[in-house]
Structure 1
Amino acid sequence: MTKLVRIQLSLMMFLEFFIWGGWFVTLGTFLDINLNASGGQIATAFSTQSWGAIIAPFIIGLIADRFFNAEKILGFLHIIGAILMYLMYISTDFAEFYPLVLGYMIAYMPTLALVNSVSFNQMKDPAKEFSFIRVFGTIGWITAGLIISWVFFWDAPEARQDGMLRNTFLMVGIASAFLGLFSFTLPKTPPTADKSKKVSVVETLGLDALGLLKDRNFLMFFIASVLICIPLAFYYQNTNLFLSEIGVENPTGLMTIGQASEVLFMLLLPFFFKRFGFKMTIIAGMLAWTLRYLLFAYGDTGELMFMLITGIALHGICYDFFFVSGQIYTDFKAGAKYKSSAQGLITLATYGVGMLIGFYVAGLITDANLIGVKEHSWEAIWIFPAAFAFGVMVLFALFFKNEEIDKKNIEI
């Protein structure tokens, strides 16, 4: 891979996740304060991510892999996204906003796979080269949060009330338009699938890997993966609103600590995995979810501020130790026949079905703990996902039988 291509792919990854982190983190706060959305409506808006994840395999499997270059579809989808972002920027009520965010997520979610396809196509050894490229995505997400909090101060109390968070959609729209045009200059990534071979919907969605559920251990892992997405949805949907409502300064910038920890624990994961094995790694991840929400429930902006910061910093363990190690385990169980299908099945189950249920439940719990017009009983809200994550952990610990996994070639 030439230096120019490396720079192109790094910039592509930076912009891809700058775009996602530049509006999704503050979405709940914007909807609550500026569009007067209820918890249920906010949940409906966040659930568009799940619908996008469910629809994405059709776009990738039935179109991108068969008929058009990946970089061209990437460019087209981001240009569509830029238009939708501008329309979201000028929208004034939730009824107008919702179909726009749904359309945007249907366009955006497939691009997560497309940027990987473009990257892998240029690499001789993805196991060694991809992490260097992918880390720029995390840097992009962090940069977006820092710009919102410490450059433009859009999430400051007065700015939020004045509707300044609306500018995040304009910022992201500009970035999306740039990435859309830039994508057409990326290295060519032609379709690889055999056009003459018919691909069923079952194969596209990874459902041909359902046979793996006959294995009791994989079934238990699959169920835990779906269930743990319920507390995960609480984090995405409520954290920024929670921090804003209790008076934390620069909440969006503060939340970038979570992405920084994700990078750190991504590096530590192989060592933990090899030393303690898959089962203990998964359990540690689920315990981190419980601890995080307890810290949120009982922390405050005074002497206990460290509890909130610690809860955010646990994101690396919460995400990496469960989801990344889960991808490794899935790859191990699938074997050569179902490698791609099994990963697609887990993605559909978690970001699709699991998160869809999670956002709905988070909306119900949030509305049930509304105090007055726009204040919430956050202690009660956070106790629910803490207890739920602990229950999933107990279920997994009891019914998942420890097994040895070939850890010789684990590279992240």
Structure 2
Amino acid sequence: MSLKLRLTIMNFLQFFIWGAWLITIGSYWFQNKGWSGTEFGAIFSTMGIASIFMPAITGIIADRYINAERLLGIFHIMGAGILFYIPEVQTPHMFFVVMLINMIFYMPTISLSITVAYSALKKEGLDIVKVYPPIRVWGTIGFIAAMWVVSLLGFEKSAMQFYVSAIASLCLGIYSFSLPKCDVNKQPKNQTLASALGLDAFKLFKERKMALFFIFSMLLGAALQLTNAYGDTFLHDFAKIDKYKDLLSVKYPAIIMSISQVSETLFILAIPFFLKKFGIKKVMLISMFAWVLRFGLFAIGNPAEGLPWIIISCIVYGMAFDFFNISGSLYVESQCDEKIRASGQGLFMMMTNGFGAVLGSSISGWMIDAFFTTNGDIQWPSVWTSFAIYSLVVALLFAVLFKHKHSPKDIESFSH
């Protein structure tokens, strides 16, 4: 089996696991359990809490003690066990605890899978910028496949979505042990305390440019959690209105939302061109303004005459997500010494899916309950408009503060 195919299978399963429940858990929470928005914000913050410390810690372990592919396998097998248990949980408090444990195992696997792929491709002497995006696109296809499976089988409001995810997690856990070996770096003599603890990646914060990059990664990571948390629930809520309740877009909202992931598959393939042509700053700015459009179009959309706006918003999502997440990980790879490659990716994950997720999910849950909920009904146009304004402010600040002069030579470092 070729290296590209092996990494393709890894990426497909990696994001199938997430796609089976990430977009539809809101429907399970609100429609099935009837729990509150503030509590739901806390549940979505679990991935953020886990990402604050787990990717960095596992990055250190993968750099120094246990091969990344083995750690990937161990975590997915443990995560599968937790996912099988989730349907048994009957209270919001316990759901939070169990989901946090699940996220402790899952979130670090995102950066670990990137480390495995980059390491294997570099050993083969391949250009990561050209070769990795077409491989990574299969992760998005896996996410889409999971959403369609869950939606078409009628599992959007059901606990069955967690069983689907658990089976995929177990499969990837076993498969991971067959992936290319990622060598650990033996600890040198006379090393500093920081090196011994694996904290060298945090030195990146000493550079103003990298510090700003990580701060804005956190702020943009907050926007990502907003759309994941509330997109499916937004469409499901139209079922309360007679003229919308029988529309296919309301009955199967996960399929409509999957247009976002279909769009991802196209924009991932465009990343090499945009990075080499415009550089990281402009690509990140494009992503930020795309988030403004994503939320703004949701604000004026509905499942009937306003459906085109929702579809366009989903298409824009591909650019918003890919130009930030994939380009960001490639940029971090270019700035990190090989000895701290896993730690650097863990740090990026910590800022985006860690602090960013906690910021986005906790504040949004409280804000929706406090300002945008009337008699139990969420005022979605106002919610999406506030998210759009937030993204616009972040984009303008980034344009002014982040200084980076693009040179085509910068991209050459990805393949060395």
Q: Which amino acid aligns with 1:111?
A: T
Q: What letter matches 1:125 in structure 2?
A: G
Amino acid corresponding to residue 207 of structure 1 in structure 2? F
Measure, in 1, the Cα distance between the counterparts of 2:334 and 2:174.
Answer: 38
Alpha-carbon distance between aligned partners in 2 of 1:15 and 1:116, rounded to the nearest angstrom: 13
Aligned residues: CA RMSD = 2.8
Partners of 1:273 and 1:6 in 2: CA distance:
22
The Cα shift of 1:330 comes to: 4.6
Q: 1:9 aligns with which of 7, 22, 25?
A: 7
Give the equivalent residue in structure 2 for 1:228. 220
Q: Does 1:130 align with 2:132?
A: yes
Aligned to 1:176: 169
Offset at 1:120? 4.2
Return closer, same or farther for 1:310/1:88 CA change in 2, 3 Å cut-off: same
In 1: Cα distance, 2:267 partner to 2:285 partner: 15
Q: CA deviation at 1:36?
A: 2.4
Kindly provide the amino acid, as one letter, of the partner of residue 215 in structure 2.
Answer: I
Shift in alpha-carbon separation, 1:12–1:282, aligned structure 2, 3 A: closer
Deviation at 1:291, TM superposition (A): 1.3
Residue of structure 2 equivalent to 1:209: 204
Say yes or no: does 1:33 pair with 2:31: yes
Number of equivalences: 396
List aligned pairs for 1:103-114, cutoff 5 A. 103-114=101-112
The residue number in structure 2 matching 1:256 is 258
Pick one of 91, 94, 99 that aligns with 1:96.
94
Distance 1:20 1:259 in 2: 12
> Could you tell me how far apart the structure 2 residues matched to 1:179 and 1:318 are?
28
SS at match of 1:293: helix
Say which is worse superposed, 7-16 or 94-103, in terms of deviation.
7-16
Residue 21 of structure 1 is matched in structure 2 by: 19
Does residue 50 of structure 2 align to residue 52 of structure 1?
Answer: yes
The aligned amino acid for 1:317 is M
Once residues 308 and 139 of structure 2 are traced to their aligned partners in structure 1, the CA distance between those partners, rounded to angstroms, is 27
Residue-by-residue CA offset, 1:249-299 (whole Å, 9 max, x unaligned): 311122121112112112223333444444433322211111111111111
Matches of 2:267 and 2:217, distance apart in 1: 19
Letter in 1 for 2:348: I
CA contact (8 A) 1:61 1:204 kept: no
Q: TM-score, normalised by structure 1?
A: 0.86
Q: Give 1:254-333 correspondences, 5 Å limit.
A: 254-330=256-332
Query: Partners in 2 of 1:231 and 1:177 — Cα distance?
Result: 30
Q: TM-score, normalised by structure 2?
A: 0.85
More displaced stretch, 191-200 vs 266-275: 191-200
CA distance change for structure 1 residues 209 and 340 in 2, over 3 Å: closer, same or farther?
A: farther
Instruction: Check if 1:380 corresponds to 2:382.
Output: yes
Residue 118 to residue 286, structure 1, CA distance change in 2 (3 Å): closer
Note if contact 1:202-1:208 (Cα within 8 Å) is conserved in structure 2: no
Secondary structure, counterpart of 1:206 in structure 2 = helix
Which blocks of at least 5 consecutive residues in structure 1 are unaligned?
Answer: none
Structure 1 counterpart of 2:220, one-letter code: I
Which is further off, 197-206 or 280-289? 197-206
Q: 2:409 and 2:321 mapped to 1: Cα distance?
A: 20
Please, which runs of 5 or more residues in structure 2 have no aligned partner? 240-249
Alpha-carbon distance, 1:344 to partner = 4.2
Percentage of identical aligned residues? 33
Match of 1:154 in 2: 155
Distance in structure 1 (CA, Å) of the matches to 2:188 and 2:339: 20
SS at match of 1:47: helix
Structure 1 distance, partners of 2:344, 2:174, is 33
CA distance, structure 2, for counterparts of residue 57 and residue 132 of structure 1: 24
Letter in 1 for 2:159: R
More deviation, 75-84/99-108: 75-84
Distance 1:72 1:285, change over 3 A: closer
Instruction: Point out which structure has higher relative CO (alpha carbons under 8 A, 6+ apart).
Output: 2
